[in-house]
Homo-oligomer: A and B are copies of this chain.
């Protein structure tokens, strides 16, 4: 079993290697492809020391059984087909092929059966926000037929990779000893506090930014559109109505969402809770339907998606409100790719 990780020095790539090892996935040869900046760099992995290479042609992927890709969209667009051409099965974490009708978009707990339709030799994994949301909503959709959702996100900075982590950390340190809180109380005049960085134009420390990705269409951002379109594809329902506002928050790891979900069939919060209690990969407190409130800081590093604040929406029938949070680097990215790999090797 020869596996290549393209983007193996990045945040998700590193998590990927560590998750494969945690799950005791047997690998005879691990290849790490990275940018030319990292070429020749030696990486210590649970599978031994690996020297970073740069992939340029189809030949570079010769002999690879699987190539797992976590790089920017344009690079994935170029290299994923070359890897597939070399005979590798490709698991792509970029957004490039997600909406391609010949590329399955897969969360194994929900639609592992779609993997067989990988006509281009590529399976895509969803956006991290989509995955966290669908883990909680898919089992309810299966039973009660989801009709419409209003979603607001609380997304961590690691959704923007290592640069996002660094930007929050830098601003956090910079203002840690602003002993006089008056600067924050009247921050609209405080240029130092308001200064953005290379990832976000506005400060993220001590702030929330209601713009994830970039504005694309009808005022919606790339992130909001992904959440809608990817959910429709994974749930095999183009009529599914989803409206979302995606917001970045000063959390390092762990995405969260408030969800107001309406169903076509009769549903109560209690029924929803019973289903989620019996869903693999989802954790909901059995003791208390109302009072539990998992936070991203508590779940960063864990595999399960956590659901809390599950309750009936009192303003219309067959509608529930809940809160969901999950690790965007693990189930939101690397863990989901590892699970696709585990399914695919059996086919």
Between A185, A254, A323, the greatest number of chain B beta carbons within 10 A of the residue's beta carbon is seen for A185
User: Could you pull out 13 A-B pairs where Cβ atoms are within 8 angstroms?
Assistant: A150-B150, A152-B152, A154-B208, A158-B185, A169-B181, A184-B252, A206-B251, A206-B297, A207-B251, A208-B249, A210-B323, A219-B311, A249-B249
The answer for the CA separation of A185 and B211 in the assembled complex, in Å, is 23
Question: Per-residue CB proximity of A16-51 to B under 8 Å, as 1/0?
Answer: 000000000000000000000000000000000000
The answer for the CA separation of A298 and B188 in the assembled complex, in Å, is 4
Check A185–B311 contact: CB distance below 8 A: no
Q: Which of B176, B208, B329 contacts A295, CB < 8 Å? A: B208
Interface segment out of the listed A52-60, A85-93, A100-108, A312-320: A312-320
Q: Which of B185, B194, B209, B296 contacts A293, CB < 8 Å? A: B209
Check A297–B211 contact: CB distance below 8 A: no
- Interface secondary structure of A, over-half rule: mixed
Q: Which of B176, B219, B253, B291 contacts A269, CB < 8 Å? A: B219
A246 to chain B, nearest CB (A): 9
Which chain B residue shows the least CB distance to A242?
Answer: B315
Q: Contacts A176-B172, A321-B245 hold; do A252 and B185 have CB atoms under 8 A apart? A: yes
Q: Contacts A295-B207, A315-B242 hold; do A173 and B177 have CB atoms under 8 A apart? A: yes
A183 to chain B, nearest CB (A): 9
Q: Which of B194, B219, B313 contacts A297, CB < 8 Å? A: B194
Check B169–A172 contact: CB distance below 8 A: no
Q: Which of B176, B185, B251 contacts A329, CB < 8 Å? A: B185
Interface segment out of the listed A73-81, A117-125, A128-136, A302-310: A302-310
Check B321–A187 contact: CB distance below 8 A: no
A residues 170-217 near B (Cβ < 8 Å) are: 172-173, 175-177, 181, 184-189, 193-194, 202-203, 206-211, 215
The answer for the CA separation of A186 and B254 in the assembled complex, in Å, is 10
Residues of B near A253 (CB, < 8 A) are 184-185, 187
Question: Per-residue CB proximity of A273-312 to B under 8 Å, as 1/0?
Answer: 0000000000000000111010111111110000011111
